[in-house]
Structure 1
Amino acid sequence: MTVDSLKKEMTRDMRIGKLLEQETAEKAKVSDEEIEKFYNDSREQFRQPEQAHARHILFKTEPDADDKTKQEKKAAAEAARKQLTEGADFAALAKEKSDCPSGKQGGDLGNFERGNMVKEFEDAAFSQKLNDIGPIVETKFGYHIIQVLERTEAKDKTLAESRDEIVGYMKQRKQRAAVDGYLEELQAKAKITDADDAKPADAPDAKPAAAEPAK
């Protein structure tokens, strides 16, 4: 395919898309009543669970690590924690010492919900005091130093907060249904036209074939 033919095909597709959008725009409109009904019928979808924003420094241990190795890793974690409690910069120390990929971002894990982390880590993240350097937490991954930066309680998003999300979803769904209906309508019209074109115009009545003489 040449560049010119590709451009022509893209232009054609854009025109078709625009035509479909114009033909189905009215059917894709979403009323206030529909928005409110969808919100009330789907409240669970608009429940924002409890979240925490934390960063950590991981001293990783392998599943088959022996006790000596584990103790060395734990001692290294305790030493790093002591540095932090004495004023060391958390992000800088995470970049230097963490065995987690998040170390490159200063140990920042962003926001996460309950159920997204291993239990030991999650219990600490949703209980320890904000901005404190928590005690060492052991998980199957190793030893963690955790600092919780922020926590938000679980809450239900209001209709106003959910409106744009609902409109986007419902409009897309209605648009898809309208496009399918429009294409089916065009297809039905095309079949009727093809059937009409297939009929011979003013075709003369066929004459019976002459009987062959008996032998």
Structure 2
Amino acid sequence: MGKDSKTKDSGGKGKGKQSSGGNDENTSKGKGKGGGKAADELGTCTYVKARHILCEKQGKINEAYKKLQDGWLSNGDKVPPAEFAKVAAEYSECPSGKKGGDLGWFPRGKMAGPFQDVAFSTSIGATSAPFKSTHGYHIILCEGRKN
């Protein structure tokens, strides 16, 4: 049982973003007990780097998500940041939309409710499904995490 978590961590502290070529979501799901370092890659990191698209209306966020699906999400949930930025610039109603939805690095506790939950649980390189917060409807692209 405890063996798996030790073999996953190959020595480097806090260097999760270099550890695997995008397979984080497959190896860290369902490993609640004794997951150690694997759990840190998703739910317990201290900072996350993200981009987002914010729309007031659900129809508009669904349109943006469909555009991502047609271009990238049909091949999995990985959207290159530059491509996500183009869709954010076109659809996002947040001032960050002009910067491709870039929110930079932010600590746990800075963002409210569902936004934080989704941002800190989305795998690096993955795009969330649309979700609702107190500010409207969002899609998040997680670009990195660190402690």
Considering the TM-score relative to the shorter chain, is it more than 0.5? yes
| Deviation at residue 85 of structure 1 after TM alignment | 2.2
Structure 2 unmatched ranges of 5 or more: 1-44, 73-82
| Deviation at residue 144 of structure 1 after TM alignment | 0.3
2:74 pairs with 1:90:
no
Q: Could you tell me which residue of structure 2 aligns to residue 119 of structure 1? A: 113
**How many residues are aligned here?**
93
Contact persistence 2:60–2:91 (CA under 8 A): no
Q: Could you tell me which residue of structure 2 aligns to residue 149 of structure 1? A: 143
Contact persistence 1:53–1:150 (CA under 8 A): yes
Match for residue 52 of structure 2 among 44, 52, 56: 56
**Aligned-pair RMSD on alpha carbons?**
1.4
Larger-gyration structure (1/2) = 1
Match for residue 107 of structure 1 among 96, 101, 111: 101
Q: Which has the higher contact order (CA 8 A, sep 6+)?
A: 2
TM-score by length of 2: 0.60
CA distance in 2, matches of 1:137, 1:152: 24
Post-superposition Cα deviations, 1:120-166, rounded to whole Å, max 9, x if no partner, equal 1000011012211211121111000111000113xxxxxxxxxxxxx
TM-score by length of 1: 0.41
The percent identity for this pair of structures is: 43
Greater per-residue helix proportion: 1
CA distance in 2, matches of 1:86, 1:132: 15
Structure 1 unmatched ranges of 5 or more: 1-48, 61-72, 154-215
Letter of the 2:68 partner, please give it. Answer: L
